[in-house]
Amino acid sequence: MPLSRRLVLAGSLAGVVSHSTLAIAGSPKSHPETGVIRLDPALDRLIAPDAQPETLAAGFTWSEGPVWIADGGYLLFSDVPENRIHRWSRADGVSVFMDPSGYDGPDASGFREPGSNGLIAGPQGSILMADHGNRAIARVDLASRTKTLLAGRYEGARFNSPNDLIQASNGAIFFTDPPYGLKDMDQSPLKEMAQNGVYRLDPNGDVTLLVDDLTFPNGVALSPDQRTLYVAVSDPARPVLMAYDLDAEGLARDGRVFKDFASLTGPSMPGLPDGLAVDVEGHLFATGPGGVHVLAPDGRALGRIDTGGAAANCAFGEDGRTLFITAGDRLLRLRTLTRG
Has residue 6 been placed in a domain?
A: no
Query: Which pairs count as long-range contacts for 231-237, CB under 8 Å and 24+ apart, including other chains?
Result: 231/176, 231/198, 232/273, 232/274, 232/275, 232/276, 232/286, 232/287, 232/288, 233/273, 234/178, 234/272, 234/273, 234/274, 235/272, 236/265, 236/272
Residue 200: name the closest of 218, 181, 176 by CA. 176
pLDDT of 306 over the 50 cut: yes
Please count the structural domains in the chain.
Answer: 1
pLDDT of residue 42: 97
- pLDDT tens readout for residues 211-248: 999 999 999 999 999 999 999 999 999 999 999 999 99
Q: Lowest-confidence range among 108-112, 171-175, 287-291, 303-307?
A: 108-112
- pLDDT tens readout for residues 7-63: 333 333 333 332 223 444 433 444 447 899 999 999 999 999 999 999 999 999 999
- pLDDT tens readout for residues 49-73: 999 999 999 999 999 999 999 999 9
The Cα–Cα gap between 80 and 67 comes to 14
Burial (CB < 10 A; 0-12, 13-18, 19+), residue 38, is: middle
Instruction: Provide the pLDDT confidence category of residue 314 given band limits of 50, 70 and 90.
Output: very high
The Cα–Cα gap between 330 and 23 comes to 9
Q: Which residues pair with 327 in a beta bridge?
A: 330
Give me the mean pLDDT over the 99-116 stretch.
93
Has residue 146 been placed in a domain?
A: yes
pLDDT of residue 153: 98
The Cα–Cα gap between 146 and 41 comes to 47
Has residue 209 been placed in a domain?
A: yes
Has residue 279 been placed in a domain?
A: yes
Has residue 318 been placed in a domain?
A: yes
pLDDT of residue 108: 87
pLDDT of residue 33: 72
- pLDDT tens readout for residues 170-211: 999 999 999 999 999 999 999 999 999 999 999 999 999 999
pLDDT of residue 95: 97
Query: pTM above 0.85?
Result: yes
By residue range, what is the domain housing residue 107? 26-335
Give me the mean pLDDT over the 94-102 stretch.
97
Has residue 85 been placed in a domain?
A: yes
**Cβ contacts of 83 within 8 Å, gap of 6 or more:** 99, 100, 101, 102, 103, 108, 114, 115, 116, 133
Has residue 309 been placed in a domain?
A: yes
Domain CATH for 37: 2.120.10.30
pLDDT of 92 over the 70 cut: yes
The Cα–Cα gap between 299 and 221 comes to 15
Has residue 11 been placed in a domain?
A: no
- pLDDT tens readout for residues 251-278: 999 999 999 999 999 888 999 999 999 9
- pLDDT tens readout for residues 156-167: 999 999 999 999
